[in-house]
């Protein structure tokens, strides 16, 4: 092949690369999977159909209805919806959030693998697994969906732990928060959780 042929191949390859790059930018990034989807629960936490069906049955909802309860992973989206927090987010001022007590939350939450009392006003509930470690691409083990429930004391009532007002109910992404030492939480769980 002569020098002229090599130049043509080079121009063709550069042109193809530029067309690919422009096409990729025009299409934009691939849409992210929504955390309230069943596929997300399977891929991210390793939950299988049986686990998801059993938890949905515990809450007496259809697996097909899981996404309708809000943007959080199931069952957090269902729990938030059930206690009137379906539309509440971190930007909602405390005064505008529905008044929900600890006993109200505890009466709705079920089907968890383990419950961890981190502090008097903070509970973690683990769903799908007792493993407080993120899944890797080749990991066949499940990973816990960690729901964090934070309360604040009701200053109008003294000394009763069930008279705590819900402050936040959210979840941890174990893959994003590698700086947090989950071993301290694992030993406070009933039954004990693992961090391997």
The number of folded domains in the chain is 1
* Residue 7 pLDDT > 60: no
91 in any annotated domain: yes
In the block, residue with structure tokens 């009933």: 190
4 in any annotated domain: no
**Cα 109 to Cα 125: distance, rounded to the nearest angstrom:** 9
Cβ-based burial of 168 (10 A; exposed 0-12, middle 13-18, buried ≥19): middle
21 in any annotated domain: no
Residue-wise pLDDT for 39-96, tens only, equals 999 988 889 999 999 999 999 999 999 999 988 999 999 999 999 998 888 888 888 8
**Cα 166 to Cα 52: distance, rounded to the nearest angstrom:** 26
- Give the percent of the chain with pLDDT over 70: 76
* Residue 179 pLDDT > 80: no
Range of the domain at 101: 38-190
CA dihedral 84, 176, 113, 47 (to 10 degrees): 100
Among 55-69, 119-133, 141-155, 163-177, whose mean pLDDT is lowest?
163-177
Does the bond joining 34 to the residue before it have cis omega, within 30 degrees of 0? Answer: no
125 in any annotated domain: yes
131 in any annotated domain: yes
Does the bond joining 191 to the residue before it have cis omega, within 30 degrees of 0? Answer: yes
30 in any annotated domain: no
pLDDT at 138: 72
* Cβ atoms of 193 and 131 closer than 8 Å: yes
82 in any annotated domain: yes
11 in any annotated domain: no
0.75 exceeded by pTM: yes
* Residue 146 pLDDT > 90: yes
* Residue 109 pLDDT > 80: yes
* Cβ atoms of 84 and 98 closer than 8 Å: yes
């Amino acid at each position: 092949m002569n020098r002229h042929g090599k130049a043509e191949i080079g121009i063709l390859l550069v042109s193809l690369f530029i067309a690919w790059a422009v096409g990729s930018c025009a299409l934009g990034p691939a849409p992210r999977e929504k955390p309230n989807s069943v596929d997300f629960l399977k891929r991210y936490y390793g939950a299988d159909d049986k686990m998801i069906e059993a938890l949905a049955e515990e809450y007496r909802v259809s697996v097909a209805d899981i996404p309708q309860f809000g943007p959080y992973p199931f069952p957090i989206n269902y729990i938030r919806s059930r206690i009137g927090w379906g539309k509440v987010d971190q930007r909602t001022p405390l005064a505008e959030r529905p008044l929900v007590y600890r006993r109200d939350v505890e009466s709705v939450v079920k089907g968890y693998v383990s419950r961890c009392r981190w502090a008097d006003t903070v509970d973690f509930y683990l769903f799908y697994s007792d493993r407080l470690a993120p899944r890797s691409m080749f990991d066949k083990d499940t990973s816990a969906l960690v729901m964090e429930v934070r309360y604040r004391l009701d200053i109008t009532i003294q000394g009763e732990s069930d008279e705590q007002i819900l402050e936040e109910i959210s979840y941890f992404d174990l893959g994003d928060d590698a700086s947090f030492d989950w071993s301290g939480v694992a030993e406070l769980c009933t039954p004990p959780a693992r961090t391997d």
